[in-house]
Structure 1
């Protein structure tokens, strides 16, 4: 159970103190292997570039080979002449999180090339697409891209994560998975998630951002669930609000809002610092497994509705997380 922390004030949540864990804080990552989803642009791209410069083998996970290869070419061109600890390797990992049929093939191709995986960064997301947007199989697009695809991907990668954590040179809880969420403290749907009578999460289109925030509640629950399942193997799983940045996620927002966000939000590299902290900092302690982190590298509590969802009704909670896990398992079982 993650420890409780002093609540972070609203002003500090929106405008965090300066990051204390950056690319300069990393040791050499030579010989280590990383997957960053959504790394063809934005925060994921900045993180992949940092890990590559630190010597890591970094897989750019994106929905098409041209997007993967384009990001790799761009990283190489932007790091020409930059020395440091020795550059690593870059690889493509074609997985369309909005099409569950692509996930297993992508994971199998990764497993043919690598024998270890040190950090799985679930960075990719879709936010506020046009109402009614669906994935390739008819699921709500935000729920599929943000939850179902990453969940299936993690299940398929569990064996290599466990194998890596068992290696003699690997420190306990240095193998990690990070589930990028959002500023959940700013507001989520009542109860964290709402369901149809058959257990499918309700598509919430009446209030701006509700459907997106609901999917991010799902990510926080998945982070806690994998911590519970894999903690015995020395694997850490945490959820993370990476901060408010200017990214392609806001491309569906109204123009006035995008203009304002371009003024107020930070560059993408700040989100990469948050992800670095969650994936690499020794300040993230074993007792925080299953817990929540915030920009630009701080521990925080999840909102009460989300915590309550993780508990069964018999233990005083709502049991909504288990209801969500049942839904996820039902939808992805055909693609395992």
Structure 2
């Protein structure tokens, strides 16, 4: 192994810890063997997340055109995946001359992209599909035996470095999610990628037994049409009264209520220019009456020296009454109601409506036990 090859191998493992280094490292590999465009990608088959995806020294629109017009009919994919991950392979070992002569990919797409005599390595592993590919600079060029030997050596390191990179990103995401949900151990959790449910916890699976929440067509909804509409408005961010930080849904047949709150998570990159929003939706079963008792709410608020006007506003919040309608009933401005709610929250030292619901639920349960 010469010094240049050793340096590139070190660059590969450095790239496993720094996403921005992958492009430069790919170009260095190309310089080592005199390659043209270099293709590197890794994508989860389960979530669609792109861990890596670029074509160095090539047309930046390559991926979009390939995915739209050629990927569905690309007969090479299963053949590549049949090879051992990390082993160097030449496309001509699994695509015959006759196949290439009649293939739109080889006769139209690849020549227009100036991609010739492809070789590389399968990077598929653990639910992800991946590829490391190189092109010669011209249709008549070939990698010589020395260059092919270097690529065979480097391909194994590419595979191991990509696995390390993917594992590091997954670990970072898991640690971040754990940090955000430590206080939600007994809470139903639904992870959304856009509108699609991609993961749930055991507590949410138990909530499904109530037959109120549903996972339908890949998305989160509930059985009651009106409540489902409210949930979709909340999850889409189209909500009234200045945007409450939580939502209460009533399961009238079951006689229970659910507190729903949405938490934004770090958005994974789908490509070099786009991201997809990921969110954690937490669901707490409150077991509140359809309309919390006013006297009980007043007693709860009295312990925090909350004024009667502020307690009435908190009663409206706990009863899921739209604050605009509450303001109209009281003959006051909506802005005044918002100020009353915020003032009450400051007095309780609870910094979210979600915590107001949880504190009142604990108070109600303790009060019910004390009266027995």
TM-score range, shorter chain: under 0.3
The structure with the greater share of residues assigned to strand is 2
Structure having greater relative contact order (Cα 8 Å, sep ≥ 6): 1
TM-score when normalising by structure 2: 0.24
Per the normalisation by structure 1, the TM-score is 0.25
**Bigger-Rg structure (1/2):** 2
